[in-house]
């Protein structure tokens, strides 16, 4: 059964914790009822998959898992490894103000801040790129190849059948399992995908090494791939915030659950005005003061769950209480009365009356 919330391991690896502290966060997510876990060879400088391995082995029959192909961490010299936690700490302090500055600049340049503003944000340490191609270049339609799309992937491409098999075997070893539920191409572009590589994906399904394959990348590049290779059953994983209005397209075209992510990270720094207009009604609905600092994250999660109503919303956190709060929200949403549910749906689909006060 599909877990409505999925726990991403990029944040766990970014948190300044010991291995047992990180494992405790995975247990917290499990105890809170989360049954989908998302990882990638890239996360945690290559350590996230190994962290999940023993956790997964004990619960394999009750958990679904996503890992990815294509992006690998830069190799770190053994002598520099002790510096990784220090680098994470510095990044965590420096990147948020930098991201806020870039978002402010982007929204000043754009009369109506939208996904373009989010696409300028810098990804956090350990995560994949935020959404490098969120919006189509001017004048282009999805599926219509640009000169860049038509270029071959080049001699150094990792997108070869041999690499695919080798990286998958490595992930299976680290994750201590014999089959991956969702194997996604990490930040792929249509130009990378040649017939032998695509055939190998189908063979891996037939061999029982993966259950589904798909794309974990930007909205625009994912859409290009789906439209260019419609014969393949792509499962989609995309960034999704309250500023996006085409999420339904991705839900319709995902050959499995749609996975959305980064609603909190990008949403908090995205269109603040729209968010501000929704916060009052949400506070009233929750019967809490609008100044309550927990309300923003709660609202962003509620909007994300409502927008991706039949799929799985991924989040990450290095804090147990936040993991529990995010999971508890599911229960809260199921108890909203019909007018409140209608308001949330309107707000989530960015409809014109979304900012109207809660009845
Ligand atoms: N396919 C791709 O290219 C791709 C790209 C990005 C992400 N992903 C996947 O999606 C997962 C989630 O994405 P993400 O980490 O970018 O986005 P996210 O979950 O929207 O944002 C994470 C941030 O939200 C904070 N947070 C979480 N719960 C909170 C709460 N209740 N209150 C306040 N703050 C809260 C976390 O802070 P604390 O840690 O301090 O709690 C962290 O800074 C990733 O781990 C990864 O698995 C995939």
> Whose CA is closest to 150, among 228, 231, 230, 216?
228
Confidence at residue 272, expressed as pLDDT on a 0 to 100 scale: 77
Q: In a mutational test of the pocket of ligand 1, which residue from 317, 323, 329 has the highest number of ligand atoms less than 8 Å from its CB?
A: 317
User: What pLDDT sits at residue 273?
Assistant: 78
Residue 125's pLDDT is: 31
Query: Exposed, middle or buried, 139 (CB in 10 Å: 0-12/13-18/19+)?
Result: exposed
| d(CA 266, ligand 1 centre) in Å | 9
Ligand 1 centre distance from Cα of residue 205 (Å)? 29
Closest C-alpha residue for ligand 1 atom 17: 262
Handedness of CA 312, 36, 19, 73 (dihedral sign): negative
Residues of the chain with pLDDT under 70: 75-155, 350-359
Tell me the two tokens of residue 165.
Answer: 């098999």
Residue with CA at minimum distance from ligand 1 atom 32: 297
pTM: 0.84
- Count the residues in the chain: 359
| pLDDT in the model for residue 84 | 60
Q: Helices then strands (H, E): number in the chain? A: 15, 8
Query: What pLDDT is recorded for position 159?
Result: 96
Q: Which domains does the chain have, with CATH numbers?
A: 5-75+84-106+114-272 (3.20.20.100)
Q: How far apart are CA 250 and CA 59, in angstroms?
A: 30
């Amino acid at each position: 059964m599909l877990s409505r919330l999925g726990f991403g391991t990029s944040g766990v690896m970014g948190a300044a914790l010991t291995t047992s502290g990180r494992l405790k966060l995975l247990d917290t997510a499990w105890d809170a009822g989360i049954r989908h876990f998302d990882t990638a060879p890239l996360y945690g400088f290559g350590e996230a998959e190994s962290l999940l391995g023993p956790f997964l082995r004990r619960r394999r029959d009750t958990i679904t898992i996503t890992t990815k192909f294509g992006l690998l961490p830069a190799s770190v010299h053994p002598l520099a490894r002790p510096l990784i936690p220090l680098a994470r700490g510095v990044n965590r302090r420096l990147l948020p103000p930098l991201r806020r500055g870039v978002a402010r600049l982007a929204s000043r340049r754009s009369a109506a801040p939208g996904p373009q503003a989010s696409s300028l944000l810098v990804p956090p340490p350990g995560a994949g790129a935020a959404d490098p191609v969120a919006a189509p270049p001017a004048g282009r339609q999805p599926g219509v190849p640009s000169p860049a799309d038509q270029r071959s992937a080049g001699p150094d491409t990792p997108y070869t059948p041999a690499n695919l098999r080798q990286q998958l075997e490595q992930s299976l070893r680290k994750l201590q399992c014999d089959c991956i539920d969702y194997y996604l191409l990490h930040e792929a572009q249509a130009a990378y995908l040649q017939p032998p590589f695509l055939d190998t994906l189908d063979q891996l399904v037939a061999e029982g090494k993966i259950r589904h394959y798909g794309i974990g990348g930007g909205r625009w590049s994912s859409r290009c791939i789906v439209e260019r290779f419609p014969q393949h059953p792509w499962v989609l994983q995309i960034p999704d915030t309250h500023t996006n209005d085409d999420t339904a397209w991705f839900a319709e075209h995902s050959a499995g659950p749609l996975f959305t992510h980064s609603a909190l990270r990008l949403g908090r720094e995205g269109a603040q005005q729209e968010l501000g207009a929704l916060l009052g009604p949400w506070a009233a609905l929750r019967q809490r003061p609008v100044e309550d600092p927990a309300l923003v994250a709660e609202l962003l999660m509620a909007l994300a769950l409502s927008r991706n109503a039949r799929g799985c919303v991924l989040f990450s956190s290095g804090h147990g209480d936040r993991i529990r709060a995010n999971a508890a929200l599911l229960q809260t949403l199921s108890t909203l009365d019909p007018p409140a549910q209608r308001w949330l749906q309107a707000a989530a689909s960015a409809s014109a009356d979304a900012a109207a006060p809660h009845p």
